Amino acid sequence: VKTLLKLSKKHTLVKKLLSQIKDLLKEVEKPVRIMEFCGGHTHSLLKYGLDVALSPEVEFFHGPGCPVCVLSLNRLELALKVAQEKDVIFTTYGDLLRIPNSEGISLLSLRAAGKDIRMLSNAMEALKIAKTNPSKLVVFFAIGFETTTPATAFLLEITKAEKIPNLKVISNHLLTPAILNYIFKKNGVYIDGIIGPGHVSAIIGAKAYEGVTAKFNLPMVISGFEPLDMLLALKLLVEKIFQRENGVFIAYTRAVTCEGNQKAKELMGRVFKVRKNFPWRGLGDIPFSGLALKEEYEAWDGERIFEIPDISEVSKGCLCGIILQGKAKPKECKLFGKLCTPGTPIGPCMVSSEGACLAYFKYKGSL
């Protein structure tokens, strides 16, 4: 709140938007329930104190938009298994390295024990590593929503064109409309509106969510991640909620269009196909929610070489699976701030830089 107050002193627009939202909300009898899909939005809300500034008129429910948090345990075990194989260089994006399995083993601890595990800042680095290490098998463990999928698709197209044999990709790419559809179908609609993902929508376009908003009769406003972006999106969303208008609306117009990035969508379509089912952490198998490599890319498909471990989810008191559905808040977890802290994380929501538990710990304190 202090940050937001500081901002509103400096920026008249922040002050104006905040008071406009407050005005809209002054007649409400019970809190307006808003889900922010992205972990990035959760962090912005808490960092700038938007949640407190709009309380008690608005209650925020944190959504599943943290790709590292939703990686299932059997996929995590697959990563750990592959990283320990002889003559393998294991590559992936940063956050995944710190996620522990149920025995506390992480890619980071394996790296400390001498395994060749490398953190990438972009997918194409995996190709460079493969070319400079022809005697090794380089595995790119690809994670992320539609934001990072085009980069993996591009990597695969170039790898195929250059006929590089020693690079394999294990795809854990996920589809965001499918998870929203699943959550509301399973739990019923317990919110009034959604703050939609900004970066994902820049790729797939706002239209991609129209099926969900029509089916569950909800408004969604696509938002950027700065506090002003979020205030603008919240104002529009509250208006749409009161007008009882469902549909997808764009507040993040400098990055998002209705159709999205056509080239990126075509690229994804050439390389990936939708899986019938894909496991999500704490949620189980979700139909049509993940992407696999098409047959034309089977020579580079890591899933054809490495068997996926068949392990069931063990929670040991971690509520991540429930938090990711917006059905519990981090502080409801008995381990929060006690056994589970950023220094001693138990679940992915405390590890990932986009995780809701980390956001609460950083911005709301440990108790």
- Which of 205, 337 has the CB closer to ligand SF4? 337
- Which of 68, 107 has the CB closer to ligand SF4? 68
Q: Does 349 bind ligand SF4 (CB under 6 A)?
A: yes
Shortest distance, position 366 Cβ to ligand SF4, whole Å: 10
- Considering only 38-46, 86-94, 271-279, 346-354, which stretch makes contact with ligand SF4 by CB under 6 A? 346-354
- Which of 164, 311 has the CB closer to ligand SF4? 311
Shortest distance, position 196 Cβ to ligand SF4, whole Å: 24
- Which of 222, 346 has the CB closer to ligand SF4? 346
Shortest distance, position 233 Cβ to ligand SF4, whole Å: 26
Whether residue 268 contacts residue 146, with contact meaning beta carbons closer than 8 Å, is answered with: yes
* Rounded Cα distance, 248 and 291, in Å: 24
- Which of 100, 224 has the CB closer to ligand SF4? 100
Applying CB under 6 A, among 126, 286, 346, 359 the residue interacting with ligand SF4 is 346
**Residue 52 identity (one-letter amino acid):** V
Shortest distance, position 359 Cβ to ligand SF4, whole Å: 10
Q: Which tokens go with 44?
A: 């912005």
The 311-340 contact track toward ligand SF4, x by CB under 6 A, reads: -------xxx--x------x--x-xx---x
Shortest distance, position 336 Cβ to ligand SF4, whole Å: 4
Strand ranges across the sheet with 167-173: 117-120, 88-93, 137-144, 167-173
Q: Does 350 bind ligand SF4 (CB under 6 A)?
A: yes
Q: How many CB atoms lie within 10 A of CB 19?
A: 11
- Which of 221, 324 has the CB closer to ligand SF4? 324
Size of the site for ligand SF4 (CB under 6 A): 14
- End-to-end C-alpha distance for the chain, whole angstroms: 18
Shortest distance, position 244 Cβ to ligand SF4, whole Å: 34
Q: Concatenated DSSP letters for 176-198?
A: HHHHHHHHHHHH----SEEEE-H
Nearest to 66 by CA among 357, 331, 367: 357
* Rounded Cα distance, 71 and 172, in Å: 8
Strand boundaries in 145-259, DSSP class E: 167-173, 193-196, 219-222, 247-250
Applying CB under 6 A, among 231, 357, 359, 363 the residue interacting with ligand SF4 is 357
* Rounded Cα distance, 139 and 168, in Å: 5
* Rounded Cα distance, 35 and 204, in Å: 20
Binding site for ligand SF4 (CB under 6 A): 318-320, 323, 330, 333, 335-336, 340, 346-347, 349-350, 357
